[in-house]
Every structure is written in C-alpha cells, then in structure tokens.
Amino acid sequence: MPQADTNTEKPICMRDALTIARIVRVNHAGEFGAIRIYSAQILVSGWFWPDCVPTLSDMLEDEQRHCTLFRDAMPVRRSRPCRIMQFWSYGGWMLGFLTALLGRQGIWACTAAVEATVHRHLDDQLHFLKGRDPELSDIILSIRDEEIAHLQHAEELLVSRSLASRLLGTVISMATDSLIWLSTWGDSTRMARALKS
Ligand SMILES: [Fe+2]
Ligand SMILES: [Fe+2]
C-alpha cells in the first residue's frame, strides 16, 4: 500500500485511498487511449503523410512506457483497469483515425488538445497526491516532462489557428475531460477544486 509522506505523517483515509486507486486507473486508461490515438494516426500517416510517422512513433513509444508504469502501480493500490476501457480504446482509435484523415494539422490539433487536457489533470493529481502517495507522485513526475514535450511539439507544428482548428481542439478537450470524469467517478472535479482552493 502507498505510504503516507513521512514529512507530514498524514494517514491515508479510505476516501483518499479510493481516489488514489481512481487516479491510477484513469491514468492507465488515458495512456491506453493515447496509444490507440497514435497507432491510428501512424496507420493513416503511413498512407498520406509519411513525414509525420517518426514523431508519432516516438510519442507512441513514450505512451506505451507510461501505460506499463501505471499498470504496474495498480495492484498495490487495489486498482484495476477501467470498466469503460472500450470507450478509451475505440474512442481513441476513431479520434486518431479521423483527425489524421483531416491532414497534418488535424493530427497536431488533436495531439495539442489531448496533451493539454492531460497536463492539466496531472497537475491536479500531483497536488492531491502530495503527502498522500509520494511513490505515485514520482511516477507522474517522471512522465510529465515527456507529456509536456508532446504538447510543445504539437503546438510548434500546429500552424493553423483557424476557427475550425480551434473548434476541433475544444471538442476533443471536452470529450477527454468527460472520459476522465467518468473514469474517476467525478473525482477529477474534486482534485481540480482542491488545487484551486
Ligand atoms: Fe503518456
Ligand atoms: Fe503524451
């Protein structure tokens, strides 16, 4: 079981342990969703935009490693893969496939929107985990730099700031937020509120 931070010696209550289990679950599901997005984008890019394949392949490799880290962190926290894994799987694949069909700008608009949403949730989680699960905090910190690099890379390549591109980004952010909310049974709102306060 995760240990309480020795600096604060704050015991972990049942409610917090449940939230921690949900954090691991949603992060594992999110990484799996990202794997599916990049896999579909690599498939389509191989047909139409081969110059995007090396970057997408590097990102896919990162997401596969992240997914394994969260999967390995599950048992000790009494967490299991998400029950709506199919949504992450098929939703991620469809999102990657359709945005890649739109072209390079569709790919980078999708990556920027997803990674920005993920980044915001990771910050909420890190704040919540402080003094509660330092080991999980360290795992999240270890992947955060790579997630930021994905976001920055996508933003650099996203030259189109048209209304359609911004609308696509907003829709993807809202869909990702909703899936995260559903997978954490609303705990993502609790974490965001804790950070704001
Ligand atoms: Fe990731
Ligand atoms: Fe990422």
**Domains in the chain, ordered, with CATH?**
14-196 (1.20.1260)
Count of C-beta atoms within a 10 Å radius of residue 9: 8
Q: Cα separations (Å) of 94 from 27, 86, 110, 168?
A: 20, 12, 12, 14
Of the given ranges (48-52, 148-152, 182-186, 192-196), which has the lowest mean pLDDT? 192-196
Cα separation, 119 vs 144, whole angstroms: 7
Residue-level pLDDT at 177: 83
pLDDT, tens digit (0-9, with 9 covering 90-100), for 123-163 = 889 999 998 999 999 999 999 999 999 999 999 988 877 88
pLDDT at 59: 96
Query: Which ligand has the shortest distance to the CA of 117?
Result: 2
Average pLDDT over residues 21-45: 94
pLDDT band at 114 (very low <50, low <70, confident <90, very high): very high
The alpha carbon of 109 and the centre of ligand 1 are apart by a number of angstroms equal to: 17
Q: What is the pLDDT of residue 6?
A: 43
The whole-model pTM stands at 0.87
Whole-angstrom CA distances from 9 to 20, 28, 108, 129 are: 17, 28, 44, 13
Would the pLDDT of 73 be above 90? yes
Ligand 1 ion: Cβ-proximal residues, 5 Å cutoff: 31, 63, 66
pLDDT at 66: 96
In whole angstroms, give the CA distance from residue 176 to residue 172.
6
Question: Given this model, what pLDDT does residue 197 score?
Answer: 63
Residue 144 Cα to ligand 1 midpoint, Å, equals 8
